Structure 1
Amino acid sequence: MATTPVAIEVWRGERVESRHRVRACVVDADGRTVLAVGDVDEPVFPRSAVKPFQALALLETGAADRYGVSDAEIALACASHGGEPEHVSLVEAWLKRLGLDESALACGPHPPLYAPAAAALIREGKTPRRVHNNCSGKHTGMLAAALQLETPTKGYEHVHHPVQRHVAAAIAELSGLEALPEPGIDGCSLPNHPLPLRGLARAAARLADPSGLAPMRAKALERVAHAMRAHPRLVAGTGRCCTAVMEATSDVVAKTGAEGVYLAAVCGRGLGVAVKAEDGATRAAEAAFLAVLDHLDALDERAKATLAPFMRPVLRNFAGLTVGRIAPVPGWPAAS
Structure 2
Amino acid sequence: MNQVEALRAMAPLTIESTRSGLVESVHRVSVAVVDATGRLVASSGDPGLVTFWRSAAKPFQALPLVLDGAADRWGFGPQELALACASHSSEPVHRERVEAMLRACGCQEEQLACGPHPPISAAVAEEAARGGVKLTPKWSNCSGKHTGMLALARHHGWPTEGYARAGHPVQERLLQEVSRWTGLPRDEVLLGVDGCTAVCFALPLGAMARAYALLGCSPEAAPKRLREAMWAHPELVAGTGRLCTELMTACRGSVLAKVGAEGVYSAALPGLGMGVTLKVEDGDGRCSPPALLAVLRQVVARLGPQVGLTLPLEQLSHHVEPVLRNTRGEAIGSLRATGALEFH
TM-score normalized by the length of structure 2: 0.89
Whichever residue aligns with residue 49 of structure 1, its letter is: A
Question: After superposition, what is the alpha-carbon deviation per residue over 1:130-181, rounded to whole angstroms, capped at 9, x for unaligned?
Answer: 0000000011111111111111111111211111111101111111111233
Moved more, 132-141 or 178-187: 178-187
Q: How far apart are 1:115 and its partner, in Å?
A: 2.2
Q: How far apart are 1:318 and its partner, in Å?
A: 4.3
Within the alignment, does 1:31 sit opposite 2:38 as a pair? yes
Moved more, 305-314 or 231-240: 305-314
**2-side partners of 1:120 and 1:14: how far apart?**
34
Whichever residue aligns with residue 226 of structure 1, its letter is: E
- The 3-state SS of whatever aligns with 1:183 is strand
Structure 2 unaligned spans of 5+: 1-10
Q: For 1:124-139, what aligned pairs fall within 5 Å after superposition?
A: 124-139=131-146
- Equivalent of 1:16 in 12, 18, 23: 23
- Match for residue 80 of structure 2? 73
- Equivalent of 2:337 in 315, 320, 328: 328
Moved more, 188-197 or 115-124: 115-124
Conservation of the 8 A alpha-carbon contact between 2:17 and 2:24: yes
- Match for residue 192 of structure 1? 200
- Equivalent of 1:282 in 269, 281, 285: 285
Moved more, 241-250 or 81-90: 241-250
- Match for residue 45 of structure 1? 52
Going from structure 1 to structure 2, the CA distance change for 1:242 and 1:94 (only over 3 Å counts) comes to: same
**1-side partners of 2:190 and 2:30: how far apart?**
22
Moved more, 270-279 or 320-329: 320-329
- Equivalent of 1:112 in 109, 114, 119: 119
**1-side partners of 2:330 and 2:312: how far apart?**
26
Instruction: Say how many residue pairs are matched.
Output: 326
- Match for residue 271 of structure 1? 274
Give 4+ residue runs of structure 1 displaced > 6 Å after superposition: 298-302
Moved more, 24-33 or 189-198: 24-33
Going from structure 1 to structure 2, the CA distance change for 1:158 and 1:322 (only over 3 Å counts) comes to: closer
TM-score normalized by the length of structure 1: 0.91
- Match for residue 7 of structure 2? none
Question: After superposition, what is the alpha-carbon deviation per residue over 1:4-33, rounded to whole angstroms, capped at 9, x for unaligned?
Answer: 945111222332111010000111123221
Whichever residue aligns with residue 199 of structure 2, its letter is: P
- The 3-state SS of whatever aligns with 1:35 is strand
Conservation of the 8 A alpha-carbon contact between 1:206 and 1:270: yes
- Match for residue 308 of structure 1? 317
Conservation of the 8 A alpha-carbon contact between 2:43 and 2:342: no
**1-side partners of 2:329 and 2:124: how far apart?**
24
The Cα RMSD (Å) is: 2.0
Structure 1 unaligned spans of 5+: 212-217
**1-side partners of 2:163 and 2:332: how far apart?**
48
